[in-house]
Homo-oligomer: A and B are copies of this chain.
Amino acid sequence: MQNGRRKTRIVKIGNVPVGYPYPVSIQSMTNTDTKNVKATLTQIKELYHLGCQIVRVALPDIESAKAVKNIIAETPVPIIGDIHFDYRIAIESIKSGIHAIRINPGNIGSEEKVKAVAEAAGAASIPIRVGANTGSLAREFQLKKEESEEKYDKAERTAESLVKSALKQCEILEKYSFKNIKVSLKASDVLTTFLAYKKFASLTDYPLHLGVTEAGTNFRSSIKSSIGIGSLLMLGIGDTIRVSVTGSPLEEIKIAQTILESVGQREAAPEIISCPTCARTTTDIIGLVNKLEAYIESLKLKGLKFKPFTLAIMGCAVNGPGEAKEADLGIAGASGKFVLFKKGKLLPRSYTGEEAYSMLESEIKRYQIL
């Protein structure tokens, strides 16, 4: 990471340590009814299967906080309870053995109630995530609407509000000697998100939960989340991430993993380098790559795991041989056929598209972790 990763305290969510120097972990959140233990556990297991390491469940009522006990009994990953408005739900979920809770001390009510939650979490030695969110800033931190129109100024001042709000939430807990804290500062605006985390990171050593909130559908969220989360990770900021998608939470995990791979926090297995094609392309590169990606996806959904390796699939002689030589298996188009490079060595004949594809399939199998 650039200038190294930010040094932080460490919090432990179940068996997953969050903070420097531990790997940046992937979170998601179920969208089933938490009281429906079976449906929720099914989704948790699917998420785990794809690489999710921590799952958050919403606890909108006492019944959910009770039901979560049965989820915890069988979950393969630690569970965070997401609680708003009612401190009794937090207390109940701690009784149920929740691994961490996420609250906003600002909407939990009186200091007495916050104190009760902090004491219960302290006694159970579980962390609390606090965090500001532009959608629910306390009145004292809200910007007046007319104050700023210019986009960057507005982002900067909103970020300032998020930072102040999050600091205040930390202070409330610190007052009760509670420091087992993880922090988030979420905005649906990417620039605001970036500025808020950057500022907060410079002021405390709490580990950070990164995310762009309410980022939209798969398409839009993959872009907004990648910029927001990715740019912070490249600065060494961020200890656990959650990609927010209006859609299946399983998509969140795929995006999160690719973000971590892209910033060098995980090894891609495989990394596929493929060119955009142009007038130089005389072979069906697009078809080949799509078929390959679908094949790898199908293997991963079956639970197969792979060692890191790189495949380069390139259309022509401009960057083709260069990229192909760097890859574990490289394929470069050449006058309607393909030439192959294995570990940088050019194989002595040319191949049809079908032959090239079957070489790719067998190469992939070689990297499977048995």
Chain B residues contacting A230 (CB-CB under 8 Å) are: 190, 223, 226-227, 230-231
Q: Is A180 an interface residue (CB 8 A)?
A: no
A310 to chain B, nearest CB (A): 9
A274 CB–B CB distance under 8 Å: yes
Identical copies of this chain, number:
2
**Chain B residues with CB under 8 A of A195:** 2
Given A214-B275, A246-B285, A312-B214, do A135 and B320 touch, yes or no (CB 8 Å)? Answer: yes
Q: Distance (Å) between the CB of A261 and the closest chain B CB?
A: 9
Find A135's partner among B32, B133, B136, B318 (CB 8 Å cutoff). B318
Partner of A216, one of B214, B244, B274, B319: B274
Given contacts A134-B323, A136-B319, A263-B191, whether A279 and B216 have CB atoms under 8 Å apart is no
* Complexed CA–CA distance, A213 and B312 (Å): 12
A 234-270 contacts with B by CB, 8 A: 234, 244-247, 249, 252, 254-255, 258-259, 262-264
Q: How far, in whole Å, are A226 and B259 apart by their CA atoms in the complex?
A: 10
A277-B29 Cα distance, complex, nearest whole Å: 9
CB distance from A19 to the nearest CB of B (A): 19
Contact A319 B279 (CB under 8 A): no
Q: Please determine whether B226 and A279 come into contact, CB atoms closer than 8 angstroms.
A: no
Q: How far is the CA of A298 from the CA of B295 in the complex (A)?
A: 31
The one of B59, B214, B264 in contact with A276, judged by C-beta atoms closer than 8 angstroms, is B214
Q: Whose C-beta in chain B lies nearest to the C-beta of A265?
A: B151
Stretch from A45-53, A93-101, A201-209, A286-294 contacting the other chain? A286-294
Tell me whether B1 and A274 are in contact (CB under 8 A): no
Residue of B nearest to A327 (CB): B188
Residue numbers in B under 8 Å from A249 (CB-CB): 276
* Complex CA–CA separation, A318 to B104 (angstroms): 10
Partner of A223, one of B31, B222, B318: B222
Provide a sorted-by-A list of 14 A–B residue pairs whose CB atoms are within 8 angstroms: A30-B279, A33-B279, A57-B279, A60-B280, A133-B322, A134-B322, A137-B322, A151-B264, A188-B323, A214-B312, A222-B223, A222-B226, A226-B227, A228-B262
Q: How far is the CB of A264 from chain B (nearest CB, A)?
A: 4
**Is A334 interfacial (CB-CB < 8 Å)?**
no
A272 contacts chain B at the CB level, 8 A cutoff: yes
Q: B277 contacts A31, CB within 8 Å?
A: yes
| Contact (Cβ within 8 A) A190 B323 | no
Q: Provide the A173-197 mask, 1 if CB < 8 A to any CB of B, else 0.
A: 0000000000000001111001100
From B33, B231, B247, B293, A234 is in contact (CB under 8 Å) with B231
